[in-house]
Structure 1
Amino acid sequence: MERSVRWATADDTQAFGRRLGGLLHGGDVLVLTGDLGAGKTTLTQGIAEGLGVRGPITSPTFVIARVHPSLVGGPELVHVDAYRLGSSLELDDLDLDADLDASVTIVEWGAGLAEQLSETRLELTITGDDVRTAHLVGVGGRWDDVLDALAPSGSAG
């Protein structure tokens, strides 16, 4: 299933992220793609709020991965920045498999690298300058209900 969503502001991006975060559970993998400044970390901040995890949420570019524990008894957030990784083998070396079933895992810059993490995942590609468009592709049946729940925000798909 696929959907497209548009955001005019960073606040819109975070609000969408909060809604999405409220629909996620342990084992979910999200792969975020977009140019520098596209809003990947802004979206992750909103998702983190929706999940109720400890912040602050900043791009883990230099540490590659950060774990944010839940403040509300839900899944923790594993936030990965694969920008500096050269291959899926390097991503595999992070040993994320241990956290996958219990955590929500978000991989920025993960296209072409993170697909190995899960057969079911949500792929989000963010494009645009002033108004952002996010193209969401759910891989696996898990995402049909999630994308349907997000549709009332003016999505088209």
Structure 2
Amino acid sequence: MSVERVVRWATPDETQDFGRRLGALLRGGDVLVLTGDLGAGKTTLTQGIAEGLGVRGPITSPTFVIARVHPSLVDGPALVHVDAYRLGSAIELDDLDLDADLDASVTVVEWGAGLAEQLSESRLELTIVGEDVRTARLVGVGPRWGAVLDAVAPL
């Protein structure tokens, strides 16, 4: 079962605002897979998600450390922020031992398409394209995501 929406953002502030609204609806065990070209807004979106979750920042691209854990400041789930750009396979992603954090944390995987789908049967896949105006295709896989997408991107 999947549900799909399309949203558009004209500015980084709009991207972060969407992320804040989405982050406020997320809970431990949620997995988000972000796809888009370099500079598409994946980290900007994650910064907004982090604000909505109420986790410790700053949120920067974890390209060289691959994964960062941001603990909650409000007794909510932590954010596990992963950058899979330098990973060559799902096996390398599995080697990060994210399973230990999956149930209790919100996991956001940048550059995760083709690698991170194995982390959870229920996930939100976001593909961001565009130069000036960003278009994001959101696909919620699993029954949880219909209500979430209705709340942040109503038809």
**Given the two structures, how large is their TM-score scaled by the length of structure 2?**
0.98
Cα distance in 2 between the residues matched to 1:23 and 1:125:
19
Q: What SS class does the counterpart of residue 116 from structure 1 fall into?
A: helix
Give the equivalent residue in structure 1 for 2:99. Answer: 97
Return the TM-score normalized by structure 1.
0.96
Q: Over residues 56-96 of structure 1, what are the superposed CA-to-partner deviations in whole Å (9 max), with x where a residue is unaligned? A: 00000000000000000000000000000000000000000
Q: Which runs of 4+ in 1 moved over 3 A?
A: none
Rounded to whole Å, the distance in 1 between the matches of 2:10 and 2:144 is 28
Structure 1: tracts of 5 or more residues without a match = none
Helix, strand or coil: the match of 1:47? helix
Distance 1:151 1:57 in 2: 24
Among 28, 31, 37, which residue is 1:29 paired with?
31
Tell whether the 8 Å contact from 2:6 to 2:153 is kept in structure 1 after alignment.
no
User: Which residues of structure 2 form unaligned runs of 5+?
Assistant: none
Superposition CA RMSD, Å = 0.6
Which of 76, 80, 83 matches 1:81?
A: 83
> Which residue identity is paired with 1:127?
V
What is aligned with 1:55?
A: 57
Output aligned runs, 1:1-157, within 5 Å.
Answer: 1-152=3-154, 156=155
CA distance in 1, matches of 2:153, 2:117: 25
